[in-house]
Structure 1
Amino acid sequence: MDDSHTKENHEQEENELRDLISVTQATILYQATNICKQPCMTSTYTGYVWLKELISEDANPIRCYNMFRMHKIVFKNLTHDLVTRYGLRGSRNTDVREMVGMFLHVLGHGIGNRLAQEHFQRSRETISRHFSLVLDKVCDMGKDLIQPTNPQYRKDYIGAIDGTHIPVVVPAFDQIHFIGRKETTTQNLLAICNFNMEFVYVWAGWEGQAHDIRIFYEAIGRRDAHFPHPPPGKYYLVDAGYPNPTGYLGSYKEVRYHLPEFRGGPSPTGYREVFNRAHSSLRSTIERAFGVLKQKWGILTHMPSYPYEKQVQIVVAAMTLHNYIRRNNVTDTDFEQAELDLNYEYSVDHEDANEGVGASNPYASPDMAHLCDEIAISLQNH
């Protein structure tokens, strides 16, 4: 009986010791994470110091352009406009210029929150909050910048329409709707571009599986899509993947079309090839614009795992900044490259190009077919 009592006392002591060890470990962990927490963002070379150095008068202009994808004067003008016209405000501890710099750096390089924390020496919550705030303001700006700007058209052709795919990150249960032709998850968007490589319309957020023709008809048919229909007598240029109702001029099917086919082959023969070369040369403007957009804003090819609605906003914000730079900068390296390089428009991913609807287009209107012949014969005669 004494042995049994001794054994019970021993087991009780072991249990008490285990409980004491558990309590001690929990206490140490709590102190380490909540009481004696070691500061993380302690670098004296903060993001604000770095930013001020980059936009200073003495700094090499290439540094600002490489980090924020725009020249110093454009950065300063953008910050001023976001503050004075769209109500962007800094916080007690963060200057508004640093907020804009965070935003542009993330968009330009597609970096995640952790890298932004280290670069700007700010907490995760601060980076996320300021990014979202600037994103909302830039999208507000987009309502003013992504629209037709000059109602006094000099030519009958007023823009080009095309679509492109942007990578997205979506939950596994929803991925089937976003898997496109390249077997990756994307969002499909429809855009209109004028011949200055400015986007005048965008409808983003469509699932990668959505066909371009469906998006097109939804855009021109829905009042809430706010589509800028061409005025009477004017038209948009569209590629072989789109229908040709009144106001939308396509090319001749089953005839040479893409510019490299003409550069590497014989001169155009017949009025149809003459027309197709001219049509391709003009419509390549939107391919150039997409090329500049993706070249400048790396987040469009390396999208972090934001909520889907924010990923759609990011596309609109990138196109807004694209237009802002185009309208507010005399020279820009990415735009200059697109204008000078004859093959630039074909450096973009042609799997984004729309699939043709065949030699006989059942969606073509007779008046657009007649206009196509009329223009083609006129071009050949000149």
Structure 2
Amino acid sequence: MGEKQSWTSEQLHCLLQTCIDEVNTNGRKGLSLKKESWEKVGKILHERFGLTLAQRQLKNAYDNLRGKYIGWKHLKDRTGNIYNSQTNTFSLTSEEWVEFKQRFPKAASLSSVPLVHPQLCETLFGGNTATGEMRWTPSSQTTSNVASSSSRRVPMLQILDTPFGDYTDDAATSFADNASPSSRASPPPRASPPPRASPPPGASPPPGASPPPGASPPPGRPSKKAKPTLDDLADKMEKVLDHMMKVNHVPSVDECYQKLLRVGYSSEDPLFVAAMMVFGQFPSMRESWLSVPDHDTGFIMDNDEMMLLLIVMFLYIRHFWKRGCKRKRDDDLRGSGLRYTLSILSDDTSCTELLRMSRESFVRLCAHFRANYSLTDSKHVSVEEKMAMFLIVIGHNQRYVVVKHNFKHSKQTIHKFFHEVLAKMMIFAKDMIVPTSFDPNPNIPGHNRRLRRVFKGAVGALDGTLIHAIVPPTKQDLYRARGKGDCYQNVLAICDFNMIFTYIVAGWEGVAHDAKVLSEAIADPGASFPIPPPDKYYLCDAAYAHTRGFMAPYRGVRYWLGDFRRTRAVTDKEKFNHAHAKLRNVIERSFGVLKARFPILKRMAPFSLVTQRNITIACFALHNFIRKEGFNDHLFAQYAEPSVSVGHNHGNASPANEDEVGVHGSAADREYMSHLRDEIANQLMQAGNI
């Protein structure tokens, strides 16, 4: 039963079709099937073909087909005429096949054997594969609100959620400021900007600058018409309604009541009551409704036009209702948020507990955003309040209603400024999370200096970590990490030996293997992965390939620090793994600081997936800012000790399963790193205890 099974095309067809039926009936468990479904699949294969297969054999066949489908789908989606639909084969050069086999080892046979039953594979595996479509890295060459155009699967980086139509905003700014460009169809009128200084004669205006009033548009470029506002729309609605009232007989209010009865509404019907309230409050609405005849004869509108009229009436009512219900601020609450912020800053302990950083760090952070990222005070909310509200949300995983109680602002206002700060954080992250220079770092902590003399080429540590995510039900299978019931996003990170993150990729689905996240980051030119020089390398665990630029431990040998607490390392390989783990532990401790400071990473708030990813990136950026500023921080001091217990913060890794380890680099690169690892192991063996 443990032997490798040779499958025929008919058997694979039965396997795929039965799995599809089970998915439709019982659903999935992660990317695989449930236990009872596997039992049924095995039973059907036994009845039809006499096969007696263990569940592991069925899963291996399932995983192999899935891996081959992923590679097949990758090639099929490539541009160029390389796919022959008649033979289901691909035309690639020998060099392209070598590169493809390195990225998709389970699909290597596609060079000689086509994918069997591609339509069934598409039905079973399509849409159930981790693609990293939400991923983004601050090291990308693109701006913070545009994803890499060179990446085939990276969408635009949408920084903001769909905004609230905030007509009750304390900030005296329009909701259009909080909307993405695509959502600003009809923004309300905005205040005129202050006059700008005239440029010197002959100087061209700066990009995006508006021409002075009265200036003619540049030749050859048509002038842009002003976008219609809601007030313009309301004026047009009134004109339409006036015209309708002139050309149609206008009944009385009593006739309005009688007509509602004639069309089938009783006085107890909630719609009847609501209609009478609207008609009693807005004469134009009542008269427009009553201008519609009871019968179709002579009626000039078809059904579509009638529906359009109803929609226009609805928009009209909603606009004027919201404009009439604009909240007036209570003078007793004016400045309450600022007072609360100042009360936090009055005590350094309170600032550290509530804002998750020292008072000096917070003041420096606000000044940094004022000077470099155009974060400004609004009419009623200062930069310090905006930043404090943002930090309390991510530092304590607080909901808007709690922040509202403390700062005395509406939830719409809190939502608006939370996303305003988050948008600035994406630009901030590009400045804070930058690749290392690969030069020797003179500020290495003392307890690592002896190891660094042995691992001379180590420039940092690399690992993945799981960040909790709130995911729609239709996508939860892709975000449930193996062995965990909750949903997560997988984040790849690199840090130096000062616990500063130098590279991150956030937004991958939780089921994505750590090695796949790394291989995709290396292959994606838009991700700008910092490949170390030939004589340098990152320290990584056994989930990653041991090749040039990436130093992994020996497989099948004790590795984790807890494995050496009772029994000392004896062999040269054990000594290497122990020293490797002690030095690589810096990224585990960095993850520990990050998640201890920002609990939202352990239990995410129900934002959109894009916002959850951006919050994660913002937390990494703030972590680096606090570390780089050099202020005394209790969390960094706590996790600076190499003996601190941090557990395993790694992401989705299965070190024991070599099939899951990504393969990149040439055979010569892997041989070079294996030789270097053996040299370090011999050196450690001769040196004794380090």
1:323 to 624, 640, 646: 624
- Structure 2 equivalent of residue 373 of structure 1: 678
Amino acid at match of 1:310: T
Amino acid at match of 1:355: S
3-state SS of paired residue (1:305): coil
For the residues of structure 2 that align with 1:290 and 1:190, how far apart are their CA atoms?
Answer: 11
* Equivalent residues of 1:242, 1:357 under 8 A apart: no
1:164 equivalent in alignment to 2:451 = no
- Structure 1 equivalent of residue 608 of structure 2: 307
- Structure 2 equivalent of residue 236 of structure 1: 538
Amino acid at match of 1:220: I
For the residues of structure 2 that align with 1:359 and 1:174, how far apart are their CA atoms?
Answer: 27
Task: Give CA-to-partner distance per residue, 1:316-338, whole Å, 9 cap, x none.
Answer: 00000000011113321111111
Q: Call closer, same or farther: CA 1:341–1:63 in 2, change over 3 Å.
A: farther
Q: Call closer, same or farther: CA 1:378–1:90 in 2, change over 3 Å.
A: same
Q: Call closer, same or farther: CA 1:162–1:362 in 2, change over 3 Å.
A: closer
For the residues of structure 1 that align with 2:326 and 2:622, how far apart are their CA atoms?
Answer: 44
1:140 to 427, 430, 442: 427
1:354 equivalent in alignment to 2:644 = no
For the residues of structure 1 that align with 2:458 and 2:498, how far apart are their CA atoms?
Answer: 13
Amino acid at match of 1:125: Q
For the residues of structure 1 that align with 2:524 and 2:657, how far apart are their CA atoms?
Answer: 26
1:46 Cα deviation after fit? 2.4
Task: Give CA-to-partner distance per residue, 1:43-62, whole Å, 9 cap, x none.
Answer: 57823211111213xx2x11
Task: Give CA-to-partner distance per residue, 1:238-263, whole Å, 9 cap, x none.
Answer: 10111112110000111111112212
Amino acid at match of 2:594: L
* Equivalent residues of 1:253, 1:359 under 8 A apart: no
Gaps of 5+ in 2: 1-260, 282-316, 442-455
Aligned residues: 362
Q: Call closer, same or farther: CA 1:254–1:244 in 2, change over 3 Å.
A: same
- Structure 2 equivalent of residue 130 of structure 1: 417
3-state SS of paired residue (1:345): coil
Task: Give CA-to-partner distance per residue, 1:101-131, whole Å, 9 cap, x none.
Answer: 1111111011122222122111111111111
2:595 to 283, 286, 294: 294
For the residues of structure 2 that align with 1:215 and 1:36, how far apart are their CA atoms?
Answer: 48
2:551 to 249, 256, 263: 249
3-state SS of paired residue (1:344): coil
1:18 Cα deviation after fit? 5.7
1:362 Cα deviation after fit? 8.8
- Structure 1 equivalent of residue 219 of structure 2: none
Q: Call closer, same or farther: CA 1:377–1:37 in 2, change over 3 Å.
A: closer
Q: Call closer, same or farther: CA 1:41–1:114 in 2, change over 3 Å.
A: farther
1:36 Cα deviation after fit? 11
Q: Call closer, same or farther: CA 1:169–1:25 in 2, change over 3 Å.
A: farther
Amino acid at match of 2:563: E
Q: Call closer, same or farther: CA 1:248–1:341 in 2, change over 3 Å.
A: closer
1:335 to 617, 636, 644: 636
- Structure 1 equivalent of residue 586 of structure 2: 285
3-state SS of paired residue (1:137): helix
3-state SS of paired residue (1:63): helix
Which of the pair has the greater relative contact order for Cα pairs under 8 Å at 6+ separation? 1
Q: Call closer, same or farther: CA 1:225–1:357 in 2, change over 3 Å.
A: farther
For the residues of structure 1 that align with 2:567 and 2:268, how far apart are their CA atoms?
Answer: 87
Q: Call closer, same or farther: CA 1:312–1:19 in 2, change over 3 Å.
A: closer
1:210 equivalent in alignment to 2:512 = yes
- Structure 1 equivalent of residue 526 of structure 2: 224
2:370 to 83, 89, 106: 83
For the residues of structure 1 that align with 2:360 and 2:399, how far apart are their CA atoms?
Answer: 27
Task: Give CA-to-partner distance per residue, 1:206-265, whole Å, 9 cap, x none.
Answer: 1112111111110111111110111120000110111112110000111111112212x2
3-state SS of paired residue (2:467): strand
3-state SS of paired residue (1:255): coil
1:113 equivalent in alignment to 2:435 = no
- Structure 2 equivalent of residue 7 of structure 1: none
* Equivalent residues of 1:65, 1:71 under 8 A apart: yes
- Structure 2 equivalent of residue 272 of structure 1: 573
Q: Call closer, same or farther: CA 1:23–1:369 in 2, change over 3 Å.
A: closer
Higher CA-based Rg: 2
Q: Call closer, same or farther: CA 1:143–1:23 in 2, change over 3 Å.
A: closer
3-state SS of paired residue (2:492): strand
1:143 Cα deviation after fit? 0.5
1:148 Cα deviation after fit? 2.5
For the residues of structure 1 that align with 2:397 and 2:376, how far apart are their CA atoms?
Answer: 24
For the residues of structure 2 that align with 1:163 and 1:36, how far apart are their CA atoms?
Answer: 48
Q: Call closer, same or farther: CA 1:78–1:254 in 2, change over 3 Å.
A: same
1:149 Cα deviation after fit? 4.2
1:47 to 312, 337, 340: 337
3-state SS of paired residue (1:304): coil
* Equivalent residues of 1:254, 1:359 under 8 A apart: no
Q: Call closer, same or farther: CA 1:40–1:184 in 2, change over 3 Å.
A: farther
1:345 equivalent in alignment to 2:617 = no
Amino acid at match of 1:332: D
Report percent identity of matched pairs. 35
3-state SS of paired residue (1:340): coil
Q: Call closer, same or farther: CA 1:233–1:89 in 2, change over 3 Å.
A: same
- Structure 1 equivalent of residue 248 of structure 2: none
Q: Call closer, same or farther: CA 1:76–1:25 in 2, change over 3 Å.
A: farther
1:152 Cα deviation after fit? 1.9
For the residues of structure 2 that align with 1:315 and 1:170, how far apart are their CA atoms?
Answer: 15
Q: Call closer, same or farther: CA 1:17–1:66 in 2, change over 3 Å.
A: same
- Structure 1 equivalent of residue 480 of structure 2: 179
For the residues of structure 2 that align with 1:230 and 1:331, how far apart are their CA atoms?
Answer: 31
For the residues of structure 2 that align with 1:123 and 1:230, how far apart are their CA atoms?
Answer: 49
For the residues of structure 2 that align with 1:359 and 1:377, how far apart are their CA atoms?
Answer: 25
Q: Call closer, same or farther: CA 1:366–1:26 in 2, change over 3 Å.
A: same
1:156 Cα deviation after fit? 1.0
Gaps of 5+ in 1: 1-11
For the residues of structure 1 that align with 2:662 and 2:508, how far apart are their CA atoms?
Answer: 25
3-state SS of paired residue (2:646): helix
TM, length-normalised to structure 1: 0.86
For the residues of structure 1 that align with 2:328 and 2:266, how far apart are their CA atoms?
Answer: 32
Amino acid at match of 2:685: Q
1:341 Cα deviation after fit? 6.2
For the residues of structure 2 that align with 1:128 and 1:236, how far apart are their CA atoms?
Answer: 40
Q: Call closer, same or farther: CA 1:349–1:151 in 2, change over 3 Å.
A: closer
- Structure 2 equivalent of residue 8 of structure 1: none
Task: Give CA-to-partner distance per residue, 1:160-203, whole Å, 9 cap, x none.
Answer: 11001111112212222212120221111111111111110000
2:387 to 81, 86, 100: 100
For the residues of structure 2 that align with 1:359 and 1:142, how far apart are their CA atoms?
Answer: 35
For the residues of structure 2 that align with 1:355 and 1:18, how far apart are their CA atoms?
Answer: 64
